[in-house]
Amino acid sequence: MLHFIYSQLIRLILPLILLRLWWQGRQAPDLRRNWQHRLGYVPSVPGPVIWVHAVSVGETIAAGPMVRRLLARNLGGTILMTAMTDTGLAQARKMFGNRVRYAYAPYDTPGSIRRFLNRTRPRILVIMETEIWPNMIRQSRKRKVPVFLINARLSERSARGYERIRRLVLPIMQSISWVAAQAEKDAERFRRIGLDPQRVEVTGSVKFDVDIPDDIRQAASALRQRLGDRPVWIAGSTHAGECVQLLQAHRQILDWHPDALLIVVPRHPDRFGTVAEMIRSEGYSLARRSLQEAPDSAQVYLGDTMGELMMLYGASDLAFVGGSLIPRGGHNPLEPAAWGIPVFAGHHVFNFETIYQRLLEHRGVFLVDGPDDLAERVSVLFASPDIRQEDGQRALAVLNKNRGALDKVVEGIIERI
C-alpha cells in the first residue's frame, strides 16, 4: 500500500517536476534536450546491456574507473550510462566518447521505468552510491535484473529516516542483489534497514582507485608550464556562499605572495556568470577558461568549462575542496590527493565521512575554520616548498594505501551477472 501511495504521489507531482525542468533549462539548455528520456522514451539499445546509473558529476567520475575495467573485460554487451543531471552526462561523454551509450535516467514513475526497461532490456543494473528509487529497483528485480548498489554509503541520519518508513523501504532492500559498502558502519546501517546481511559486503571506497589518464596529465603539465613558477592554488567544486570567503582569503594571500593565482571552479555551470561578476566586483583581474583568456597576468582564473577539474587540480600547487565551508557536505578530496598536492577543506564534510576520516588520521588533509585560517595556511605552504611536498605526499600515500576496492567491485559484479 505504501509503495502504491508513493507511486501515485510521484505521478501527481510529475507535471511540476517537468515544469521545473523547463524553467531550469533557461540557464542550462542541455536540460531540455532529450527530456523524453525522463519519461522512459529512450532509443532502443541492441544486445545485452549493462546499465550504470550515477546521479551527477561526482558519482559519474567515481564510476569512471569501474566502467573502464568493464569495457576492458569485453563482456559482450553495451554499457548504458545514465544520470539525473546534464552535467553528469556531459562528464560521462567527456570520459568515454562513443564507447558507451548515454541517456537521462527516467523519473521514478511506474510508467517511465517500464518504458525505459522495455527499450533497454538491461542485463544488470549498477547504481552508484545511494540512489534508492523504489520503482527503478523493484521493477528491475521483477524482470530478474540483478541490482547492485556500488560504493554504497548511508549516513546515520539517512538510516534513521529510512527506519521511520521501514514498511516502504523493506521491499526495496529485499530487491537489491548486492551492496558493496564503503565502510563497516555503512554496511551495518544497510542491515538495520532490512537488507539481507549475506548481500552486504564491505569493499571500501572505489574513489580511492583514482586513475589519471595520460591525456589529462599532459594537459595539466602544459597549463602548468604556461603558468610558470608563480604560486597557484585552486578552489574546486565551490558553491554559493563560499566564493566570497575564498576571495577574502585570496586577498590576504596576495599580501604575502603578490603573484599568486587562484583558480576557481564552481560546481554548477549555472553559476559561472555569477561568479565571474563577483570576482570582477571584488576588483580582481580575471581570466575565463571558457573564453580562452590567458591566465598569465590574472589574479583569478575561472574554470568555467565542463569536465576539466581533474586537469586543473594537476596544474595547481595545492587545493581547497568546496562544498565544505557551508553545510553542503563537501566533495571528493581524493581527486587533488591523487596529484600529490596538499588538500584543504572546511569542516562540513559529512558526505565523505569515511574518506576524510582516513585522510585526517594521517594528516593527509587539513580542515580550516574560515578565510583567515585558509589564507594563513596557504601562504605558509607557498613559502615552504619542502613542507608542501611532504603534505602532498601524505595525501597521496593515504590514497595508495586504500586502493583495491575497485578490483573487489568489478569481480563481485562479474561473479553475480
User: Could you give the residue numbers annotated as active site?
Assistant: 59
Neighbours of 161 (CB within 10 A): 12
Nearest to 88 by CA among 269, 287, 227, 250: 269
Neighbours of 240 (CB within 10 A): 15
In terms of Cβ atoms closer than 10 Å to its own Cβ (0-12, 13-18, 19+), residue 223 is buried
Beta-strand ranges (E) seen in 74-137 are: 78-83, 101-104, 122-128
Asked if residues 141 and 162 have their Cβ atoms less than 8 Å apart, the reply is no
Return d(Cα 62, Cα 64) in angstroms, integer. 5
Cα 334 from chain centre: 11
Return d(Cα 330, Cα 347) in angstroms, integer. 8
Rounding to the nearest 10 degrees, give the CA dihedral for residues 134, 140, 141, 144.
180
Grid coordinates of 72 = 576492458
Return d(Cα 76, Cα 55) in angstroms, integer. 25
Neighbours of 397 (CB within 10 A): 14
Helix/strand/coil (H, E, C) string of 258-283? Answer: CCCEEEEEECCHHHHHHHHHHHHHCC
